[in-house]
Chain A
Amino acid sequence: MPSYAGPTAARTGDIAGTLRLLAYLALAFALIVLDHRGGWLARARDQVDVAVQPLWAVAGWPGQLLETVNDDAGTRSMLIAENRRLRNALLVSGARNARLQAESADNARLRGLLGAVQRGTLDVQLVPILDIDLDPTRQRLVLDAGTGDGARVGQVVIDAGGVVGQIIETTPMHSTALLLTDPDHAVPVAVQRNGVRLVAYGTGRSDRLALASIPLSSDVKVGDVVVTSGLGERFPAGFPVGTITALRPDESRAFLLGDVTPAARLDRGRDVLLLRRAPARAVIGPVMPGAASAPGAANAQSTASDSSSAPAGATASAPPPAPAGVGREGGESSARRALQSDNASLATHPLPNPPPPERGREQKPAPQPAQSTEPRP
C-alpha cells in the first residue's frame, strides 16, 4: 500500500498522482467552460437533475416541518389577532375588487367601442417555494411544482409585489426559477411615469437591481416606479419590477446608472404565483385591423391594453394595488379622450417617448393604409 509508505518510496506514486490530478482538473475545467459558455450541457443536466430531486425533497423537509409547527403552535390570542387582520384584509380587498369589477366592465365596454378583441384575464397558479439554499453566489429559487403540475421553462414567476423571475429548469417534481436579481438576468422595463424604456440587470444581491445606460436627457428620477415593458416577449407588460432608489453618472459621464429596489419579496416568501397564460402583449403588439381606422385610435388601444394588464393582475389573486390603480386610470382616461379626438390622445399618450423604439416604428405602417382607405370620422 503506497499510501502508508514514506515519502521516498512514494515517488512513482507522486508522478502518477499528479498526472491523474491534471486529468481530473482538465475534465473539470472542460465541464465548467461548457456549462458556463454554451449551455450545451443544459439538456444532459436536465436529465441528471432528476437524480438529485430526492435530495431536494429531503432538504425541504425541515422548512416544511417548521412551517407546520409554526402554524400548529399558534396560541389562541395569536390566532384571534391573525383572524382580525385577515378579516380586515378581506374587507379591503373585497371593496377594491368590487370597484375593479365595475371598472373592468367599463373597460370591456370601452374596448368594445375601440373594436379590440376581448383578452382573457390573468391565469395564475399558486406554487409553494421549496425552502432550500442553493449556491449563494447565484440567485435561484426552487419551486415545489414541476412539469407534472404544469410548470414549464420560460414561465414568469410573480408575487403580490411584482415580478420575481422566470423558470429556467423543470423536472417532474420541482422547478428552478432564476430571480430578477441574478447577475445572468435582465428584464426589459419601462419607467411607469413617462415610459422611458430601459433594461434592469440583476446584481447578485437580493435587494438590488441595476439600470444601465440611462440617457442623461431622459426624465428619470429617484422614486420612479419601474414596470415590465413587454419588450422581448418573455415578461408581459405592466408588472411592477421595483422603485429607483439612486441615480449616478457612469464612467463616461454620458449616461446614468440606477439602483432599483425590487418590488417583489425575493427573500423568502412562502408562495409565489406562476403565470400560466400571459395576457396578450400590449406595448408592441400587432395593431388590430379593426382598430386601425385612425392612428390616434390605434395608439389609444395600445396604451389602454398596456395598462389594463395590471388590473387583470389585480382581479386575480394577487393585487399589486397602487400601480394597478394608477395604470388603469391613465389608460382608461387616454382611451376616453382618444374616442373624443385623435389629437388629444396623441397629446396625453402615457408613453410620450419622443423617439419610438424600432418595434414601434415597425408597427407604424399598419395604420397608414387603413387611414388612406378609410376617411377619418
Chain B
Amino acid sequence: MSRDRAAWVLPVSIVVALVLGLLPLPAAVAPLRPYWLALVVAYWVLEEPERAGLGFAFFVGLLADLAFGSLLGEQALRMVILTFILQRFRARLRFFPLSQQALAIGALLVNDRIVTTALHFILGLPSPTGLAWVAPAIGMLLWAPVFLLFDMLRLRNWRRR
C-alpha cells in the first residue's frame, strides 16, 4: 500500500474537521457537537505515525484555537494529551476490532472532556456542562464511519478488518 498516493487526504481532512467544528447548529443540539478534530487526529496518529506525531497534534490544536477563538494553546494541549495516549497504546489499538477501537476512542474523548473541564476550572472560566458530556458518546459512534471513510479515501479500497 503506497502512502504517498493520497497525501492530500490529511490536510483536507483537518480543514474539513475545522469547518465542521465551526458550522452553526441549533442552540439545543450545539453542545452535542462531536469533537471532529479529535477523531481525525486520532485516525492519523493510529494509521500514519510517521506523519502524525506530537508536533503535528500540537500544530493542529493551535490552528483549532485560532479558528474557534478558544484560548491559544488550549486545544493544542488537549490534542497533545490525546495523541500521547494513542501513541502509547497504538500497537494494541491497531489490532482491536473496530467496535473496541470505538470504545477506546470514546474513553479518550471523555478524558479530553475532563482535561478541558479541569483546565477551565483552574483558569476560572466557565466549563461546558450538561449535554456536553454526551458529545463523547456521539464521537464514539462516529468513529467507525470516519475510520472506514478515511481508509477508503486513502487506500482506495475497503480494508478487511
Q: Would B58 and A32 count as touching, CB distance under 8 A?
A: no
Q: Would A24 and B58 count as touching, CB distance under 8 A?
A: yes
Q: How far is the CB of A184 from chain B (nearest CB, A)?
A: 9
B118 within 8 A of A: no
A89 within 8 A of B: no
Q: Which residue of B lies closest to A142 (CB)?
A: B69
Q: How far is the CB of B103 from chain A (nearest CB, A)?
A: 21
User: What are the interface flags for A1-12 relative to B under an 8 Å C-beta threshold, 1 for contact and 0 otherwise?
Assistant: 101111100100
Q: Which residue of B lies closest to A131 (CB)?
A: B24
Q: Would A3 and B49 count as touching, CB distance under 8 A?
A: yes
B contact residues around A4 at 8 Å (CB): 91
Q: Tell me which of A17, A58, A204 contacts B126 (CB under 8 A).
A: A204
Report 28 cross-chain contacts, Cβ distance below 8 Å, ordered by A residue.
A1-B50, A3-B87, A3-B90, A7-B91, A17-B87, A21-B54, A24-B54, A27-B76, A28-B58, A29-B77, A31-B62, A31-B71, A32-B77, A32-B123, A35-B72, A36-B71, A49-B66, A55-B19, A58-B19, A63-B24, A134-B68, A134-B69, A136-B31, A137-B127, A137-B128, A138-B125, A183-B125, A267-B27
Q: Would A140 and B69 count as touching, CB distance under 8 A?
A: yes
Q: Tell me which of A6, A32, A58 contacts B72 (CB under 8 A).
A: A32
A90 within 8 A of B: no
**Complex formed: what's the CA distance from A28 to B65 in Å?**
11
Q: How far is the CB of B100 from chain A (nearest CB, A)?
A: 18
B25 within 8 A of A: yes
B149 within 8 A of A: no
Q: Would B77 and A25 count as touching, CB distance under 8 A?
A: yes
A95 within 8 A of B: no
**Complex formed: what's the CA distance from A41 to B67 in Å?**
15
Q: Would B66 and A45 count as touching, CB distance under 8 A?
A: yes
User: What are the interface flags for B28-50 relative to A under an 8 Å C-beta threshold, 1 for contact and 0 otherwise?
Assistant: 00110100000000000000011
Q: Which of A240-267 contact B (CB under 8 A)?
A: 267
Q: Would A138 and B67 count as touching, CB distance under 8 A?
A: no
How many chain B residues sit at the interface, stated as a range, is 35 or more
Q: Would B80 and A135 count as touching, CB distance under 8 A?
A: no
Q: Would A51 and B66 count as touching, CB distance under 8 A?
A: yes
| Chain A to chain B: the 3 pairs with minimum beta-carbon distance, closest first | A31-B73, A59-B22, A28-B77
- Interface Cβ pair total, 8 Å cutoff: 122
Q: How far is the CB of B25 from chain A (nearest CB, A)?
A: 6
A20 within 8 A of B: yes
Q: How far is the CB of A177 from chain B (nearest CB, A)?
A: 11
B147 within 8 A of A: no
Q: Would A27 and B128 count as touching, CB distance under 8 A?
A: no
**Complex formed: what's the CA distance from A8 to B126 in Å?**
43
Excluding A17-B54, A31-B72, A32-B71, 14 further A-B contacts by CB distance (< 8 Å) are A3-B49, A6-B91, A24-B58, A25-B80, A28-B80, A35-B73, A36-B123, A48-B66, A59-B18, A59-B19, A59-B23, A63-B24, A133-B21, A138-B70
A102 within 8 A of B: no
A contact residues around B151 at 8 Å (CB): none
Q: Would B24 and A137 count as touching, CB distance under 8 A?
A: no
Q: How far is the CB of A271 from chain B (nearest CB, A)?
A: 15
Q: How far is the CB of B14 from chain A (nearest CB, A)?
A: 10
Q: Would B123 and A138 count as touching, CB distance under 8 A?
A: no
Q: Which residue of B lies closest to A3 (CB)?
A: B49
